[in-house]
Structure 1
Amino acid sequence: MPEKDETLLLHLNEAIATIRDKDSLFKVVTTKLRLIFPFDLIGINVFDVELKQKRLFLRDYYGAEERAPRPAEMDQFTPIAGSPVEKLVADPRVQQITLADYLRDYPDYEPLQRMQQQNISQLTVVPLRTSGHLTGFLTLASRRRPNLTAGDEKLLEKIGSLIAVAVANTLAFEEVARREQERTLQLNITNALLSIKQREPLFRAIAEELSRLVPFEYFGIRVQRAGQEKMFEVFAEFSRSAPGAPLEALAPDRDLDQTLTNTAGIFQQSTGLLHTAAIYSGPEFKDLAVRYPRLRYVYEHYGTRALLVAPIWQRPDGAAVLTLSAARPDAFRPEDLATVLALVPQIALALENLFAFEQIEELRAQVEQERTYLVDEINTSARFGADSGTFVGSGPALQHTLLRIRQVAATDTTVLISGETGTGKELVARELHNASPRHARALIKLNCAALPAQLIESELFGHEKGAFTGAVERRIGKFELANGGSIFLDEIGELPLDLQAKLLRVLQEREFERLGGTKVLHSDARVIAATNRVLADEVAAGRFRADLYYRLNVFPIALAPLRERREDIEPLLRHFVQRLSKRLGKPIRQVRPADLAALQAYTWPGNIRELEHVLEQAIIVSQGPFLEFMGFAAAPCWPSRPQRYCRAPGP
């Protein structure tokens, strides 16, 4: 063997033994080879074990005006069948090939066309073997035909054996490095899971870590939960404006039809794309873009050419999927999909944890809100005078009211309670709730006449942070809080017309939106409304919507005024005297028969509430054994009231 050949083999062997970096190693290899074998292009193809797939491991031009772009075949395996390589596999030996001959058999093979454009005419191919097994081919391409001797061919066989070892070592080193990167990625994501509990920061950290191994312009997680009407909700979504730019969170409430890769529409139409881990790129992605309008939009407007889909879970209570997209058709390799799938268990754990954290936070806020309302209800009950939760009296009007309550309490039917001020509408609403299957949840109350019109909507439906001046945090509305329980809308006749339309939507569709938000919320709340107005007259006057009136008036309960329940005045009087005397720390005093007759004769425009307040005043000012009604109770008409409210007491 000539000395120069031995020197070449020695240098190649030394380089293979000492250099681990792929680019540096093959720069040395190609430089040394060109000293003996002049060529314009070098390429190395590697095969899978079954010799079914090939991948371009190395390609480099010499003497070309511009360096060729990185081809897609360097990132993924492609079939050997149907390519010129199948001839080489069938006859694996050192041989010289004329490019024109191959072009006649494979006129559409793009790599051959590229070489022809570079005026390449001759190919010298060298099989690569390790342990006697064919692992690939070395190709030396030139514009002029080389004159190879038998000695040159033997030398190329030896060089092929050395390069085969170098390729095997490099692939092994790359695999080790890839596994090390994956372990680092998994460790970083585990650390993020342990330290970050908020949705956006957590998934931004996951996306940033993943982008170190997998190139993408878009990262999205979509979730379908049981009971949701829409197919998928966007759970986390990030994109970058340019390669290398930081990931930016996309607004969750934006118009999804105009986003980079809104794949929800795809999944609604094709379960295969949802259930199967896959990469869609090149012509395959273009075919999908033709079939699905939203993919066509991102294909045309954002230049998206590749989509990676990794299902997170698919189970009876819903589904979750991760998608990545990129502008380069060859952005995703099978190794990238394997990397993402290896992270799926951690991402699934992150989703489960966040669901739990968000549910706990919602429940905590709901419990706090319910506690506030329940405390208010207890205080209201004490002031109202029905702390026992029972009705006082036995007259026919009250018995009819109790019958109506028993008839409807066990249902979810909307109830409209009507009656004058002070007749006990709130007590009826509380009894309806307590006797219903919803009694374990709160009865949420709102007095529509007690708040300015501009605040009622926020109270009913809640608001998002920043929805209006002073909205410094998200607020849960009454309907959201009453989910699973009951909501009592007192003085419903005072509700402004514009809010009547929104209330009608809740009654019809059981859905609403917070002020400043676009997310549709659902509430399974039983509606109990009350009014001291005649709503039919309000409808006729145009002050109340007819459609809302008919929605509310499903099961009416009309409360009789106290002047029509005179037989109940005495038991009510005894009830209030006992309870108020105890609360005020006063002895229980009796009522003179004349005062009782005057109380029963009075028309009570304020009804039970007025009776309670009159008795409370009498208990406070009385000093002797009897209650003193400031000198008015013995008179048929009390001077403190207009004459129209008086009538002579009965015999």
Structure 2
Amino acid sequence: MNNQDESLLLYLNEAIATTRSKEKLFKIVTEKLRLIFPFDSVAIITFDNALQYKRIFLRDLIDSATTLLPDSAEAEQTQIAGTPIELFVRDPHVQQLNLEDLLVEYPEYKPFKRLHERHMVNLTVAPLRTGGQLVGLLVMAARRRPPFSPDDMLLLGKISSVVAMAVSNALAFEEVARQERQKSAQLTINNALLSSKNRGQLFHAVATELDRVVSCDYFGLRIQRRMAATESFAEFAKNEQGEFTVLGADRWEGVTDRETMQAETFGLFTEPSVHGGLDFLELTTRYRMLRYSAERHGMRAILGVPLWVEQDQLAVLALASKRPDNFTVADLELVRSLVPQILLAMQNLFAFEQIEALRAQLEQEKTYLIDEINTSAKFEDFVGTSAVMQQVQTRIRQVAATDTTVLIQGETGTGKELVARALHNLSPRRSRALIKLNCAALPAQLIESELFGHEKGSFTGAVDRRIGKFELADGGTIFLDEVGELPLELQAKLLRVLQEKEFERIGGRRVIQSDARVIAATNRILEDEVAAGRFRADLYYRLNVFPIRLPALRERPDDIEPLMRHFLERFTKQMGKPVRGLRERDLRALRQYGWPGNVRELEHVLEQAVIVSEGPFLEFAGFSARPVPVPPDTNTPLKTLKDQERDHILAALRQTGGRVSGPTGAALLLDINPKTLEARMKKLGIQRTIGVAE
């Protein structure tokens, strides 16, 4: 070894001791090597400790203007077995090889093909050892075979030992930097995870922090189910300002086969992997969703890590980039190291959101239960022992313990809500709430929100999320009063809940399950409504599984006196009034009256009598002036229900001076929605001005 060679070795040793950047070190080594050994390209390949895998540490084409760092495919670890590298591992010594001979034996080996395309003809390979351990190879390629003497080969062996030490140091520095980068990312993301319990805010912070160490254009946490659409847990994409924004459902506008496209990708990321460049483009030919991502959003690389994998379900953390060489194996390992934190955050969020949903449900149930208690005080039990009421109670006992849907039919004021409450209280669901909705009491546009709830911002005025009645009634009972008033478009949605036990909130994408027993009530004859096209036949048959018909009060005259005694006892106690007698003539008049308002009308008459009476007997102010229908006989035909309804509405209008709505209107007296009353008046030819229509 001459002085020049010793100087070169000394220079390289000093460079190794003072240089930490592997790129700078690589440049120094290649420049000095080329002074002695003529070559046109050089590469350093490193091995794992078990000599099972290799990766390109650095490579350079000497006549190129810039250093060619490895792309994502070359940076990945690949197996040594089955490649020409296996020959050098088995026989690690300095050797020169003819590239054309190697191509004969390995015609499809891409690195050899690329060198051949650049007109390389010769390879010089030197093993890199530290402490007797083979850590890699120094590979020099030339367009002409260089004339190496034995001394040159010996010198190259010594230089390779120095280079091996430099590579080992650089790898060690890389590992330290990787660990520091990983810890820094874990710390910042952990702080983000502790900063909020709101799903959107939390994972927006995670995406932002992760982007600092693994740059990406898309961040997504997605739950995939076999043969089903992907559920977005949290998804963000960068806008033109480089900031992450939430991806909404509107991004799929115009995509007709989204769910099938998403289902096709099930299993793509059951193992952590990176796909970029040509590898990603090859995937776009197999997966339409990736092709859509590439064509619509310009994505060229994707990194995916499974958070959990089950037989028919998996959760995936996916990052995507518009740069084909954006993600490296080191990035993949860093993201994998964050999986436990992100998985714990998802589990905590699931639990927190479930607790919040239950808390909101309990708050709503509390409101309804208080209302139920207050309402229940009006009817402590069924009053009356008539045969028709005994039959009603028998049917209630028969069906109460089941989950069968019940349809209660009867005129206004016959006690349909009382029957619904009895069905609930006698059922196994009595520990949960009875949720009630009067379908005639709300505008059509609000009934859907009341039934199914809505998400914040789903329509004008939706300033917060609202839990619907069906969600509140989960595990309990929902009572749909005046179900015959439902608009046709809502009838279809109600039918779906009855059939499939599931629905979505307005503006929501998540399917919500509801195990609610349905009890419906109506004073309409639904068979006639179906025939007229105002009520869906399929919904009618779904509701009319177990019908209960409540008799009108005129059909149970024997129950009038017990009902009177019941109401009088309650009202005198509530108002602190003395107990007053009941004249026989008043009792007779009350029995003979037709009671078009049924039990509710009787209750109101007695309440008014308790309030106004001052003497020893109850005074029924104005009651005697009401028309007393003549009991039907064989010579007097019965009035139709339509005529009776008309007479009853006219009587109410007389009493209120023709006023329909308001605190002194006929609607309040008849316990009916003013708009419903106006519709019935129009149908029956009754005008607001009493005396004109008569």
**CA separation in 2, counterparts of 1:282 and 1:195?**
37
The correspondence for 2:382, drawn from 382, 387, 391, is 391
Query: What's 2:204 paired with?
Result: 204
Deviations 1:388-408 (A, max 9, x none): 3x1112221211111010011
Residues 602 and 647, structure 1, Cα contact 8 Å, conserved in 2: no
Identity %: 60
**Aligned-partner Cα distance in 2 for 1:285–1:408:** 61
Matched, 1:351 2:346: yes
2:173 alignment counterpart: 173
Separation (CA, whole Å) in 2 of partners of 1:605 and 1:371: 35
Which residue among 500, 504, 509 is the counterpart of 1:513? Answer: 504
Q: Distance in 2 between matches of 1:394 and 1:643?
A: 25
Q: How do residues 55-204 of structure 1 correspond to structure 2 at under 5 angstroms?
A: 55-64=55-64, 68=68, 70-72=70-72, 74-204=74-204
Whole-angstrom distance in 1 between the partners of 2:73 and 2:509: 45
CA distance in 2, matches of 1:65, 1:117: 18
Superposed counterparts of 1:34-433, under 5 Å: 34-64=34-64, 68=68, 70-72=70-72, 74-223=74-223, 230=228, 232-240=230-238, 245-252=242-249, 255=252, 264-266=262-264, 273=268, 275-279=270-274, 292-295=287-290, 297-298=292-293, 307-314=302-309, 319-326=314-321, 332-382=327-377, 385-386=378-379, 388=380, 390-433=381-424
Match of 1:585 among 569, 576, 584: 576
State the number of aligned residues: 632
Letter of the 1:249 partner, please give it: V
| 1:13 partner letter | N
Question: What code does the residue aligned with 2:408 have?
Answer: I
Written as runs of structure 1 = structure 2, the 5 A alignment for 1:494-643 is 494-630=485-621, 632=623, 638-639=624-625, 641-643=626-628
Find the residue that maps to 2:429 and give its secondary structure.
coil
Do the aligned partners of residues 304 and 263 (structure 1) sit closer, same or farther apart at CA in structure 2, a change above 3 Å counting? farther
Residue 452 of structure 1, aligned match among 443, 447, 467: 443
Aligned residue for 1:599, secondary structure, equals helix
- CA gap of 1:100–1:241, structure 2 versus 1, over 3 A, is farther
Rounded to whole Å, the distance in 2 between the matches of 1:260 and 1:548 is 31
Q: Secondary structure at the match of 2:36?
A: coil
The Cα of 1:19 is off from its aligned counterpart by 1.5
Q: Distance in 1 between matches of 2:192 and 2:260?
A: 26
Q: Deviations over 1:51-99 (max 9, x none)?
A: 3322211111222356546344641222334433333334322233343
Deviations 1:391-445 (A, max 9, x none): 1122212111110100111111111111111110111111111111111111111
State the SS of the aligned residue for 1:413: coil
Deviation at 1:614, TM superposition (A): 0.9
Task: Tell me, in whole angstroms, the C-alpha distance in 2 between the residues paired with 1:429 and 1:73.
Answer: 68
1:423-468 CA-partner distances (Å, limit 9, x unpaired): 1011111111111111111111111221222222222222233333
Please give the per-residue CA displacement for 1:527-549, whole angstroms capped at 9, x wherever unaligned. 11111122222222333222222
Shift of 1:213: 4.1
Distance 1:259 1:111 in 2: 41
Q: What is the CA deviation profile of residues 462-506 of structure 1, one whole-angstrom value per residue up to 9, with x for unaligned ones? A: 223333322222222222222221111111222222322222222
Which residue number corresponds to residue 23 of structure 1? 23
Preserved contact between residue 73 and residue 276 of structure 2 (Cα < 8 Å): no
Counterpart contact for 2:59–2:69, Cα < 8 Å: no
Please give the per-residue CA displacement for 1:328-381, whole angstroms capped at 9, x wherever unaligned: 666555544433332222122111110111111111221222222233333433
Q: Is the Cα contact below 8 Å between 2:454 and 2:467 reproduced in 1? A: yes
Deviations 1:35-56 (A, max 9, x none): 4334332211112233332221
Q: Which secondary structure does the structure 2 equivalent of 1:466 belong to?
A: coil
- What code does the residue aligned with 1:250 have? L
Q: Which amino acid aligns with 2:111?
A: P
SS in 1 for 2:411: coil
Tell me if the contact between 1:260 and 1:302 (Cα under 8 Å) persists in the aligned partners.
no
Q: Distance in 1 between matches of 2:72 and 2:336?
A: 22
Shift of 1:253: 6.6
Q: Distance in 1 between matches of 2:319 and 2:87?
A: 38
Contact 1:218–1:260 (8 Å) recurs in 2 = no
The answer (yes or no) to whether the contact 2:308–2:314 under 8 Å persists in 1 is yes
Letter in 2 for 1:18: T
Alpha-carbon separation, structure 1, partners of 2:250 and 2:128: 56
- Taking a change above 3 Å as real, the CA distance of residues 467 and 202 of structure 1, as seen in their structure-2 partners, is closer
- Contact 2:223/2:233 (8 A) holds in 1: yes
SS in 2 for 1:623: coil
Task: Please report how far the alpha carbon of residue 261 of structure 1 lies from its aligned counterpart in structure 2 after TM superposition.
Answer: 12
Shift of 1:25: 2.0
Change (3 A) 1:69 1:313: closer
SS at the partner of 2:157? helix
Are the aligned partners of 2:45 and 2:136 in contact in 1 as well (CA < 8 Å)? Answer: yes
8 Å Cα contact 1:278/1:310 also seen in 2: yes
1:614–1:487 CA distance, 2 compared to 1 (3 A): same
Alpha-carbon shift at residue 16 of structure 1 (Å):
0.9
Matches of 1:74 and 1:290, distance apart in 2: 22
Instruction: In structure 1, give the amino acid aligned to 2:577.
Output: K
Q: CA 1:265–1:485 in structure 2 vs 1: closer, same or farther (change >3 Å)?
A: same
- Whole-angstrom distance in 2 between the partners of 1:605 and 1:405: 24
Offset at residue 235 of structure 1 (A): 1.1
Q: Residue 619 of structure 1: CA displacement? A: 0.9
Q: TM-score, normalised by structure 1?
A: 0.88
Q: Do the aligned partners of residues 285 and 261 (structure 1) sit closer, same or farther apart at CA in structure 2, a change above 3 Å counting?
A: farther
Which deviates further from its counterpart, 259-268 or 134-143?
259-268
Deviation readout 1:305-346 (Å, 9 max, x if unpaired):
655443323469964333344566665555444333322221
* Alpha carbons 1:285, 1:307 under 8 Å: kept: yes
Contact 2:406–2:520 under 8 Å retained in 1: yes
> 1 CA distance for matches of 2:46 and 2:258?
36
Over 3 Å counting, the alpha-carbon distance change for 1:104 and 1:300 in structure 2 is: farther
State whether residues 411 and 436 of structure 1, in contact with CA within 8 Å, keep that contact through their aligned partners in structure 2: yes
Give distance in 1, aligned partners of 2:170 and 2:456.
55
Partner Cα separation in structure 2 for residue 584 and residue 229 of structure 1: 66
Distance, in Å, in 2 between the alignment partners of 1:88 and 1:540 is 88
What is the aligned partner in structure 1 of residue 5 from structure 2? 5
Q: How high is the TM-score relative to the length of structure 2?
A: 0.83
Q: Which is further off, 202-211 or 618-627?
A: 202-211
Q: Secondary structure at the match of 1:341?
A: helix
Measure, in 1, the Cα distance between the counterparts of 2:532 and 2:151.
Answer: 111
What do the CA deviations read for 1:204-261 (whole angstroms, capped 9, x no partner)? 3333333444454443323369xx995752212233479x944433215754968999
In structure 1, give the amino acid aligned to 2:126. Answer: V
Query: Does the 8 Å contact 1:260/1:298 carry over to 2?
Result: no
Structure 1's unaligned 5+ residue stretches are 633-637
Shift of 1:556: 0.9
Uncovered stretches (5+) of structure 2, i.e. residues with no partner: 634-694
